[in-house]
A and B are shown apart, each in its own frame.
Chain A
């Protein structure tokens, strides 16, 4: 039997969930016996295989058009999509922006911030993605497993991936379900 392929990517998050993933320490070796780790933001390969992977993991919520693109690509290339962490599941910290709106947030960050000089302006290159209302991944693509937490503990991530590797769909409840 071939090992299931796993790919991950991050959207509007802080990379903390991936740090928590690394926090499983030597159990990564155990995990790698069970799965084949493909593209991740912390390895060389950056995009999930065109021919698809078994499990896709997304950290962070959707905060701009690029995030939507990445999320949709991951969804189209994986069989089971895991939303990893509070931002991916609920919107999380970036979603605080919704209370004021993206325009006000950009204005504050690029123009009014004390560290800016007088020339401060909101970046407007047409190549750049545009901000959208911050939303959980599930608002744009179907999520199969939600693992909340800020960040989810290494134990929880290991537990979920180990179950998936053995062909089981893990139930996120009890100790695994900890939003912080």
Chain B
């Protein structure tokens, strides 16, 4: 790439061709204020705050959109630019309701206010117009108050460019421009998927979330880096807390992986959780759950474990626990007590199947980051709508730019809404799908396509074009990755090995992959073991199948952070901190160990699961050796493992 040389405020700087003046200025250390600009979004140039003087140019130029050219001479801080910036801000403040004193987003949070401070603006030269604009409070999580809007379209661009959902847009023009959802429907009834990335990118308080509103400035909250616990993507996020309360969750914009993006699950689910916490150990005495000391509760549990034959013990852990906890769980129940069934609850078989395939062909999976830049995405049996939504964003946002999209699975959701070149099969006949992709040619392929309800000619065209693709990902999900389909999977892998591109297995919930590498098996729903059940439930929401599994044990020991009707059926209840109250490590679906910081103090008298297991080990005559890194290293991983 050729370098351009230009002068900014008398300083010489070299930048790559295609850089904007703004990028060059940043390199030269010149601070140009911006509002509509966001480093993750395409330059837009609507606010005009970044106007600079370019020698030889007839007018001032917006630094964020004008490309730097050879020998350009730029000045960013002259009387003329200052005057222009002041004028731009005056116009912005005059257009809508930008009164700070009753705004939800005050000092330090609002970029418009900061921009005014930076220009030493202490009054508005133009009186505001006082035209009322739309307030939309129909959304479950997010408020829209377009009286605060500065028409920068960062939300619109985030929705389209980063998430690929294209829900937000504008109607009308000029000062009447109005932010709307879809074609002007109430936001809560629109195609919005509630990911909240627009909230994170709004420079003013035009879009804000209900949870953190009026709970203090973002800059006054404590920020703790953590990893998302909702699925195997492991998006980096930041927990914002105040007075030991979780106020808001943001995507971590410094993350090279999700670049600040989160989905509804990662951003709002924990904030919606209002379940009662278990604050002290409880033991069932004469049929009644009674508050007790840790000493007594642990001794009751240890005695029960001692008294029960190992073949009568069933131990299962929720995949929402950290690697440390799962490793100790495996070490205690599997390694020491030799319990036959040490299982992981509420998981699917995707990790198991990956491991089984890896045992034959080695680590075969690619990196989730590859999903960001593809020519062809082949999605089979994967759910990118409920879980792994951010992976869905990566694909969706490329679709308008020509990403070829092949989908086979029960529900495509809204993934393909903006796909320009797609083959969608909604169904579960993976045998025919894979046969069609792998083996068949010409007539046979046409026949299989017709069988799946696809247009054979269209498929043929798609396949021919797809053969030109070099950046290809085969994204396989839990509906395909089952024991039942194993031979089919082997066939598919054999095919993919000869193709350009990589395989990515989406592994359901967080922790499923780590559990599998630690030799914890997906729970056997039909197991006959009924004596003692030791269930590390944490804060998991229990589905019916899990409830039935739990009900089968006669004596139930629960390690849990919350209370619900199912948990109240336990005989020993041990309170543990939840995910935000511990520093711990988690394994993403593509094999990266990520550290989550401790953001909150646990309420009541809780102990982490690892401490409980250590204590129980001591009481039952066993010293837990804690080296999960070694345990992971010696496992058969289907991805590369990055342990640090």
Contacts from A to B (Cβ < 8 Å): 83, 86, 89-93, 95-96, 98-100, 133, 135-136, 138-139, 143, 146-148, 150, 171-174, 177-180
Closest to B93 in A: A90
- Complex contact B127–A173 (CB within 8 A): no
Q: Please give me the residue from chain B that is nearest to A145 by CB atom.
A: B122
Check A136 against B124 for contact (C-beta < 8 Å): yes
Nearest A residue to B119, CB-CB: A173
B128 within 8 A of A: yes
Of B100-108, B353-361, B366-374, B457-465, the segment with at least 4 beta carbons within 8 Å of chain A is B100-108
Residues of B within 8 A of A178 (CB): 107
Tell me, in angstroms, the Cα distance from A171 to B120 when the chains sit together: 9
B130 neighbours in A (Cβ, 8 Å): 95, 98-99, 133
Contact A136 B99 (CB under 8 A): no
On whether the beta carbons of B101 and A146 are closer than 8 Å, the reply is no
Query: From DSSP, what is the main secondary structure of chain B's interface residues?
Result: loop
User: Nearest A residue to B102 by beta-carbon distance?
Assistant: A93
Which residue numbers of B lie inside 8 Å of A, CB to CB? 97, 99-102, 106-107, 113, 116-117, 120-124, 127-128, 130, 132, 147
Whether A180 and B101, one on each chain, are in contact in the complex, defined by CB atoms closer than 8 angstroms, is: yes
Task: Name the one of B101, B122, B124 contacting A172, with C-beta atoms under 8 angstroms.
Answer: B122
For A99, the chain B residues whose CB sits under 8 A away are 97, 130, 132, 147
Distance (whole angstroms) from the CB of B135 to the closest CB of chain A? 11
CA distance A143 to B127 in the complex (A): 14
Q: Find the B residue at minimum CB distance from A143.
A: B123
Q: What are 20 residue pairs bridging A and B, where the CB atoms are less than 8 Å apart in the complex?
A: A83-B123, A86-B100, A89-B122, A89-B124, A90-B124, A91-B128, A92-B101, A93-B99, A93-B101, A95-B128, A96-B99, A98-B128, A98-B130, A100-B132, A138-B123, A146-B123, A171-B120, A177-B120, A179-B101, A179-B113
Given known A-B contacts A99-B130, A99-B132, A180 and B106 have beta carbons under 8 A apart: yes
A83-B123, A89-B122 given; A180·B107 CB < 8 A = yes
Q: Among the interface residues A100, A133, A150, which one has the most CB atoms of the partner chain B within 10 A? A: A150
Whole-angstrom distance from the CB of A131 to the nearest CB of chain B?
A: 14
Instruction: Determine if A136 and B100 form an interchain contact, defined as CB atoms under 8 angstroms apart.
Output: no
List, in ascending order, chain B residues with CB within 8 A of A147's CB. Answer: 122
Additional A-B contacts beyond A92-B101, A98-B128 (10; CB < 8 A): A90-B123, A96-B99, A96-B102, A146-B122, A173-B120, A177-B117, A179-B101, A179-B116, A180-B100, A180-B107
Cross-chain contact B100 with A150 (CB below 8 angstroms): yes
Q: In the complex, what residue of chain A is closest to B129 when comparing beta carbons? A: A98
Contacts of B99 in A (CB 8 A): 86, 90-93, 95-96
Shortest Cβ distance from residue A73 to the other chain B in the assembled complex, whole angstroms: 22
Task: Tell me how far the C-beta of B90 lies from the nearest C-beta in chain A, rounded to whole angstroms.
Answer: 12
Q: Report yes or no: B123 in contact with A136, Cβ–Cβ below 8 A.
A: yes
Q: Are B100 and A177 in contact (CB under 8 A)?
A: no
Q: State in angstroms the CA–CA spacing of A55 and B107 once bound together.
A: 30
Beta-carbon contact of B122 and A150 below 8 Å: no
Chain A nearest Cβ from B31, distance in angstroms: 16
User: Residue A173 contacts which of B101, B113, B122, B128 (CB distance < 8 angstroms)?
Assistant: B122
B residues less than 8 Å from A173 (CB atoms): 120, 122
The closest CB in chain A to the CB of B124 belongs to: A90
Give chain A nearest CB distance to B24 CB in angstroms. 29
Q: How far is the CA of A96 from the CA of B153 in the complex (A)?
A: 25
CA distance A100 to B147 in the complex (A): 13
**Smallest distance from the beta carbon of A11 to chain B beta carbons, Å?**
16
**A173: nearest chain-B partner, CB-CB:** B120
Chain A residues, CB < 8 A from B127? 91, 135-136, 139
Of the candidates B101, B116, B124, the one having the most CB atoms from chain A within 10 angstroms of its own CB is B101
Q: How far is the CB of A49 from chain B (nearest CB, A)?
A: 27
> Which residue of chain A has the shortest Cβ distance to B132 in the bound complex?
A99
Q: Across the interface, name the chain B residue whose C-beta is closest to A85.
A: B101
**B101 near A150 (CB under 8 angstroms)?**
yes
Q: Which residues in B have their C-beta under 8 angstroms from that of A177? A: 117, 120-122
Residues from chain A with Cβ under 8 Å of B100 in the complex: 86, 150, 179-180
Measured CA separation A172–B121 after assembly (Å)? 9
| Residue among A90, A133, A139, A172 facing the most chain B CB atoms (10 A cut-off) | A90
Smallest CB gap from B131: residue in A:
A99
- Which residues of the other chain, B, contact A86 by a CB distance below 8 angstroms? 99-101
Query: Nearest Cβ in chain B — how far from A92, in angstroms?
Result: 6
A93 CB to closest chain B CB (Å) equals 6
Chain A residue numbers with a CB within 8 Å of B113 are 179
Contacts of A96 in B (CB 8 A): 99, 102
